[in-house]
Amino acid sequence: MNAIVNLSALIRRKLGKGGLSSFNGGVHPPQHKLESTSAPIRQVPPPARLVLPLRQHVGNVSKLQVAIGDHVLKGQLLSSADGQVSAAVHAPTSGTIAAINNQLIPHPSGLPDISITLEADGCDEWIARQPLDYKAISKQELLDRLREAGVVGLGGATFPSHIKLREDARHPVRTLIINGAECEPYISCDDMLMRERAAEIVRGIEIMRHLLDAGRCVIGIEDNKPQAVAAMRAAAADSEVAIDVVEVPTIYPGGGAKQLIKVITGLEVPSGRLPSEIGVQCFNVATAYSVNRLVHHGEPVISRIVTVTGHAGRAGNYEVPLGMSIRELVEFAGGHAGEELIMGGPMMGFNLPSADVPVVKATNCIIVPDSAMFPAPAPALPCIRCTRCADACPANLQPQELYWFSKSQNLEKAREYEIFDCIECGCCSYVCPSNIPLVQYYRFAKSEIIAQDRAKEAADIARERNEFRLKRIEREKQERAQKHAQKAAGAKTEAAPADEAKKAAIAAAIERAKAQKAEVTPKNTEAVSPGVAAEIAEIETRRAEVLAATATDVRAEEKQSTEEAK
């Protein structure tokens, strides 16, 4: 056993410098970082009009907290997090809510989504800001504040940070990795942030370390950013906690979370698992910076550093209020916002549907291309099965197999070959001698599989609800039948005594009436003269005769009528 451990340590030492490991594959595209690193970060004044989509993060759409016409201050909450996997949105400047409607967002679909339009009043007036003493409050309270402040991963994935910063008893985080690798060409926003605001990033890292109680803390920076490394080393030396700054070899996609974890710790994140399950958590430097802004300055996430590069007059990094139109930003940077703009890098970015979309939390870079920079791709040729893509794949997949399965829409097979481990880095397409846009096929297959899974889930719920309904109807039917049966049985058994009681009551009433009649004797015939008495007696006998006569008549008539009826 010891021999194996020694051997693995030896191999690890042999593989990379300074005890670093390495991952398979990767490519070395031209870097183009110098274009945007010559000038310091420039502030962009808030524009007159800002558009803030409610969905700027992974998870649930945030819940609206303002109405049209409301006046809001800079940093005021516009929409709050809805559920756990969600993040809030805040006003990047003071002004009035002009509209809440569907607007075009920076998304590859080119579809509009619900957004808030804010007309700036030009005062840029802050709401009351309260720095937090993070050691004095509970961790849960601090996480709630992060959720309310809209802190999300600013490396591009925009996953709500408060979830990743939650302590998990089952998987304690041993290593906290801060990702400053920034491997993708053209992008330099993290580089410039580290060069200029290293101390603030370190303050943020201290808070993250406090939350996760991580034993080790490492900042990984690619060795093509010596100034950033020097600045971070100097800032880390001043910190109260031990923070290692590690230079990692420059290779694309060395800044991918799983790849950076492999390089720094030598651990591989298993397929379909999260880094936290192997005791590692990874955050972008800009995320650490926004944690610091919240805790030490009381500021929510309302701006971010964006690299504007390519065919722009003043290419560089800009601190941009969220919601600013990308057209305005590009023009501010001396570029012309033509038909095609790329958000993100050349490897993983996408063409914006229009220049009139806002800067969101995921906007790390805008490339203004010209035809010389990115010539139209050559037509795709058939796959020649050279497997260069397999050599380049940093996720240890078989891209050529995935391509065939995706192309033939054999989705089950694609899933079997772990298409969901693909990070869409584009290395395979980059090296493909046949110019096949492989990643486009994988994206297609992935979204088809996700849609199928959702439909399956919905079908399962529908089946359950239908079965429940049928059961309920059956149960109600039985209950009704039981009730009817009970009623019928009850009527029979209770009928006899009820009738007798009734009869008895009627008989009693008749008796009472008879007794009453007997009691009542005419009282006005007692004190009369003999003459009158004789007259009364005569009348009485006549009446009796008449009564007897009519009675016999009636009886005779009745007899007659019954006989007739017979």
Partner 1 sequence: MLTALYVMLGLALLLGLVLGYSALKFKVEGDPLIARIDAILPQTQCGQCGYPGCKPYATAIAKGEADINQCPPGGDAGVHALADLLGVEYKPLNAEHGLPKPKSVAVIDENVCIGCTLCIQACPVDAILGAAKHMHTVIASECTGCELCVAPCPVDCITMEPIAESPANWKWRYPVFEIKPESAVMRKTVS
- Tokens in use for 199? 């101390």
Counts of helices then strands in the chain (DSSP H, E) = 15, 17
- Contact present, 80 and 60 (Cβ < 8 Å): no
Interaction with partner 1 in 404-433: which residues (CB under 8 A)? 409
Q: Which is nearer to partner 1, 435 or 561 (CB)?
A: 435
Tokens read off for 286 = 């800009």
Q: Which of residues 111-170 bind partner 1 (CB under 8 A)?
A: 111, 113
Q: Does 459 bind partner 1 (CB under 8 A)?
A: yes
Asked if 97 contacts 70 with a C-beta cutoff of 8 angstroms, the reply is yes
Residue among 251, 176, 182 at smallest CA distance from 215: 176
CA 144 from centroid of its chain's CA atoms: 16
34 binds partner 1 (CB under 8 A): no
Query: In what order do the strands lie in the sheet containing 342-343?
Result: 42-43, 316-321, 303-310, 365-368, 342-343, 350-351
**Does 440 contact partner 1 by CB under 8 A?**
yes
Nearer to partner 1, 415 or 443 (CB): 443
Whichever of 381 and 513 has its CB closer to partner 1, that residue is: 381
DSSP string covering 23-71: -S--B------GGGTSS--EE----SEEEEES--SSSSPPEE---TT-E
Candidates 39, 381, 461, 554: give the one binding partner 1 (CB under 8 A): 461
Q: Residue 417 or 444: which CB sits closer to partner 1?
A: 444
For partner 1, which is the closer residue by CB, 178 or 362? Answer: 362
Nearer to partner 1, 10 or 111 (CB): 111
Encode burial over 343-377: b for 16+ CB neighbours within 10 A, e otherwise. Answer: bbbbbbbeebbebebbbbbbbbbbbbbeeeeeeee
By CB under 8 A, residue 453 contacts partner 1: no
Residue type, 444: F
How crowded is the C-beta side of 453, counted as CA atoms within 13 Å? Answer: 9
Tell me the Cα Rg of the chain.
Answer: 44
- Partnered with residue 310 across adjacent β-strands are 368
DSSP letter assigned to residue 380: P
Distance between CA 381 and CA 518 in Å, rounded?
Answer: 124
Dist CA 512 CA 103 (whole Å): 91
Q: Does 379 bind partner 1 (CB under 8 A)?
A: yes
Q: Which is nearer to partner 1, 129 or 475 (CB)?
A: 475
Tell me how far, at minimum, the Cβ of 380 lies from partner 1, in Å.
Answer: 7
241 binds partner 1 (CB under 8 A): no
State which of residues 108, 270, 313, 433 lies at the interface with partner 1 (CB under 8 A).
Answer: 108
Candidate segments 160-168, 225-233, 278-286, 436-444, binder of partner 1 by CB under 8 A: 436-444
Shortest Cβ distance from residue 470 to partner 1 (Å)? 8
Question: To the nearest whole angstrom, how small is the minimum distance from the Cβ of residue 416 to partner 1?
Answer: 16
> Minimum distance between the CB of residue 385 and partner 1, rounded to whole angstroms?
19
Residue among 371 and 529 whose Cβ is closer to partner 1 = 371
- Taking CB under 8 A as the criterion, the residue among 84, 101, 466, 561 binding partner 1 is 466
Indicate which single residue of 41, 51, 52, 55 sits in contact with partner 1 (rule: CB under 8 A). 55
Q: Least separation, in Å, of the C-beta of 360 and partner 1? A: 12
**Could you tell me the two tokens for 421?**
């481990």
Binding span for partner 1 by CB under 8 A among 28-36, 214-222, 453-461, 537-545: 453-461
CB of 38 to partner 1, least distance (A): 32
Task: Give the separation between CA 278 and CA 285, rounded to whole angstroms.
Answer: 21
Distances (CA, A) of 222 to 154, 225, 253, 342: 18, 6, 11, 24
Residue 472 C-beta: closest distance to partner 1, Å: 8
Please report whether residue 381 would count as binding partner 1 according to CB under 8 A.
no
> Cβ closer to partner 1: 454 or 475?
454
Cα dihedral 209, 129, 180, 47 in deg (nearest 10): 160
> Nearer to partner 1 by C-beta: 476 or 535?
476
Least gap, CB of 215 to partner 1 (angstroms)? 39
What is the contact surface with partner 1 in residues (CB under 8 A)? 55, 61, 105, 107-109, 111, 113, 379-380, 409, 437, 440-441, 443-444, 446-448, 450-451, 454-455, 458-463, 465-469
